[in-house]
């Protein structure tokens, strides 16, 4: 399943850019930008720091995968968002999201699932023809 179809490819590239911005935002948090003089490790804890590092890397690799219109990029983006939103809803201290950040990431996750579903339906339709 790939996103060679023009509308799917455009949506994949838009999601790739969004994934890039989310990943770069996570990387900025890892570097301590916006946290003042506090160390990011002490601010979010060691486990939170490792988790945020993994999620940032997943999103940056997902951005590359989506930009080259490959399905593994969408799967990586969806997995990273499911993990983050799931941990937030469970109530762990490792993930902190504001209301608008939660709504934005939920929208990106739903758009990613929609892209994967439409690509799957398109692939099945091509096989049937």
Total residues found in the chain within this entry: 129
- Does some domain include residue 88? yes
pLDDT, tens digit (0-9, with 9 covering 90-100), for 24-81: 999 998 888 876 777 778 878 889 899 999 999 999 999 999 999 999 999 999 999 9
DSSP H or E run through 44: helix 40-67
CA–CA dist 68, 89 (Å, integer): 32
Cite the DSSP H helix spans in 68-98. 71-90
Give CA 86 to chain center in angstroms.
13
**Predicted local confidence at residue 22, as pLDDT:** 96
63 falls within a domain: yes
> What pLDDT score was predicted for residue 2?
67
Number of compact structural domains in the chain: 1
The model carries a pTM of: 0.90
With respect to residue 46, please indicate whether it lies within any of the assigned structural domains.
Answer: yes
Residue 1 domain flag: no
Locate the DSSP E strands across 46-123: none
Residue span of the structural domain in which 45 resides: 6-128
What is the chain's mean pLDDT, rounded?
Answer: 90
pLDDT band with cut points at 50, 70 and 90 for residue 125: confident
Query: Does some domain include residue 104?
Result: yes
């Amino acid at each position: 399943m790939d996103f060679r179809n023009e509308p799917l490819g455009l949506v994949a590239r838009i999601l790739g850019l969004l994934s890039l911005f989310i990943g770069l935002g996570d990387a900025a948090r890892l570097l301590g930008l916006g946290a003042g003089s506090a160390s990011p490790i002490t601010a979010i804890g060691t486990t939170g720091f490792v988790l945020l590092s993994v999620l940032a890397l997943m999103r940056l690799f997902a951005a590359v995968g989506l930009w080259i219109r490959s399905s593994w990029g969408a799967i990586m983006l969806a997995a990273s968002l499911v993990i983050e939103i799931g941990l937030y809803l469970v109530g762990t201290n490792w993930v902190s999201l504001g209301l608008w950040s939660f709504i934005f990431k939920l929208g990106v996750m739903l758009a990613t699932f929609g892209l994967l579903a439409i690509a799957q339906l398109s692939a099945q339709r091509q096989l049937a023809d």
